[in-house]
Amino acid sequence: MLAPYLLSKPIVSAMHMSAASSREKKKKKKEEEEEEEEEEEGEEKKEEEEEEEGKKEEEKEDEEGEEKERKRREVEEEDEEKKEGKKRRSRRKKRI
């Protein structure tokens, strides 16, 4: 620490003030950088969450599409079975 009598000297006082302001500037700059990093991390988290939500929605839509396709196939198979049953009955009737 500087002795109080040295601080009263103009040159020493100016040097001390210059060093103090330099430390304050560095401290402010460091704080600003930390804030920017926090903001960037927050934005990255938001983007990741949005991507995850998009993936979940796509998976849900895919599952719904697959379910609809499966139901459609089942209906088609049932229709084909009904047609085959009618053909068999008509063949039996023709034989009789």
pLDDT digits (tens, 9 = 90+) for 48-82: 999 999 999 999 999 999 999 999 999 999 999 88
Provide the 8-state DSSP code for 8.
Answer: T
Question: Does the model's pTM come out above 0.75?
Answer: no
| Residue 10 structure tokens | 């103009």
Q: 21-33 as b/e, with b when 16 or more CB fall inside 10 Å?
A: eeeeeeeeeeeee
Q: How confident is the model at residue 4 (pLDDT cuts 50, 70, 90)?
A: low
- Going by C-alpha positions, the residue among 13, 33, 35 that lies closest to residue 25 is 33
- Residue 2 in contact with residue 16, Cβ under 8 Å? yes
**In this structure, what are the phi and psi dihedrals at residue 3, rounded to the nearest 5 degrees?**
-70, 145
Predicted local confidence at residue 88, as pLDDT: 75
| Residue 38 structure tokens | 């926090």
